[in-house]
Amino acid sequence: MGRKKKNEKKKKHEVPRAEREDRHALYQQSVQDPGYETELATHYFEQRVGRRPMSLREDFCGTALLCAEWVKSDPNRTALGVDIDASVLAWGQEHVFTDLDEGQRARVSTIEGDVRDLHPERHDVVMALNYSYFCFKSREALRGYFATVKEHLRPDGLLFIDLFGGWESRQAIVEKRKVKGFKYVWDQASYDPITGDFLAHIHFHFRDGSKMKEAFTYEWRLWTIPELRELLAEAGFAHVECLWEDEDEHGGGAGTYSPCVSTTNDPAWNAYLMASVQVPPRVAAPGDPGAPTG
Ligand SMILES: C[S@@+](CC[C@H](N)C(=O)[O-])C[C@H]1O[C@@H](n2cnc3c(N)ncnc32)[C@H](O)[C@@H]1O
């Protein structure tokens, strides 16, 4: 009897995990894979352009985790992260950049601003990941963003963007996935086929029963691959390749991506588009090594 009472008392006064946890740390653990994305950009840049990419601009960088991974991956690499939200950049300075040594720290910087603002610096690679550019809902706005990216790239530079689709992406679906010590919940709240507006949230659920609801909310337009190809071409990109997710032995997603020009329909897919300012010296050829394994 006494023991039970003691436990109840402890529980009563314990702060629920949802109140103790940090949403940015949970986000990083649940959805980001900067090691694979650094490997992906390096692999395809070397394949297509024939040299090692050294400078990265990470648009919509958030906590700039990819920038940090990039400068860690090579002692001569530089990275610039751009995000409009000062608070998320400050979180990165405090929690991500403190993990870098002095040399790495000197090779990474961030800008608080709109990704559509023009800066003079040009980079080998621009990456805009986790579908962040879906926030541009009109053709004009997205084309304008892509045109700015082109100005931020060197003549042989590459842009990498990711996207998802399939009929399930337009359904009200809640997907739960176990991550170490908590559940990541992807909540597709609504999709309007007339306006194209898509609303989704990320929630985090914990073993103590507490929930961090709407830790992140996204109001997007779900762009398709043909639309993106057209807009990239209109913005001046000379060549666009689709990197489609490879299948594992059970027919599921393998988590690696290889060039693909045509495929069969799929209820839920992920892909990257790789856009080049100029047609790269080497375009995909049969027998080229496929995706890096990360
Ligand atoms: C989905 S998060 C992406 C975080 C990270 N890049 C990733 O891969 O997970 C989107 C980020 O874009 C930023 N953002 C939204 N609109 C922006 C804009 N116009 N210019 C710069 N950053 C913007 C938000 O502040 C937010 O940090």
Q: Which pLDDT score is estimated for 282?
A: 81
Q: Which pLDDT score is estimated for 281?
A: 85
- The total number of structural domains in the chain stands at 1
> Which ligand 1 atom sits nearest the alpha carbon of residue 32?
9
For residue 284, what is the enclosing H or E element?
none
Separation of alpha carbons 247 and 251, rounded Å: 5
Q: How far, CA to CA in Å, does 277 sit from each of 94, 119, 120, 235?
A: 35, 17, 16, 10
Q: Which pLDDT score is estimated for 251?
A: 84
Tell me, yes or no, whether 91 lies in a domain. Answer: yes
**Residue reference for tokens 């990711």:** 162
Tell me, yes or no, whether 138 lies in a domain. Answer: yes
55-59 and 174-179 beta bridge pairing? unpaired
**Cα dihedral across residues 60, 62, 66, 69: positive or negative:** positive
* C-beta 37 within 6 A of ligand 1: no
Each residue's pLDDT, cut to its tens digit, for the chain (294 residues) gives 344 444 444 466 689 999 999 999 999 999 999 999 999 999 999 999 999 999 999 999 999 999 999 999 999 999 999 999 999 999 999 999 999 999 999 999 999 999 999 999 999 999 999 999 999 999 999 999 999 999 999 999 999 999 999 999 999 999 999 999 999 999 999 999 999 999 999 999 999 999 999 999 999 999 999 999 999 999 999 999 999 999 999 988 898 999 999 999 999 999 999 999 999 888 766 666 677 765
Q: Which pLDDT score is estimated for 3?
A: 43
Tell me, yes or no, whether 28 lies in a domain. Answer: yes
Tell me, yes or no, whether 193 lies in a domain. Answer: no
Tell me, yes or no, whether 4 lies in a domain. Answer: no
Residue in 23, 58, 60 to alter for ligand 1 test, most ligand atoms within 8 A of Cβ: 60
182-191 and 197-206 beta bridge pairing? antiparallel
Residue in 29, 36, 66, 83 to alter for ligand 1 test, most ligand atoms within 8 A of Cβ: 83
Tell me, yes or no, whether 195 lies in a domain. Answer: no
Tell me, yes or no, whether 85 lies in a domain. Answer: yes
Residues whose CB is less than 8 angstroms from the CB of residue 107 and which lie 6 or more positions away in sequence, other chains included? 71, 77, 78, 79
CA of 42 to the centre of ligand 1 (A): 22
Protein residue closest via CA to atom 12 of ligand 1 = 60
245 lies in which domain range?
Answer: 23-166+222-276
CA of 281 to the centre of ligand 1 (A): 32
Protein residue closest via CA to atom 26 of ligand 1 = 62
Q: Which pLDDT score is estimated for 1?
A: 37
Q: Which pLDDT score is estimated for 12?
A: 61
Separation of alpha carbons 276 and 280, rounded Å: 7
CATH of the domain at 127: 3.40.50.150
* C-beta 84 within 6 A of ligand 1: yes
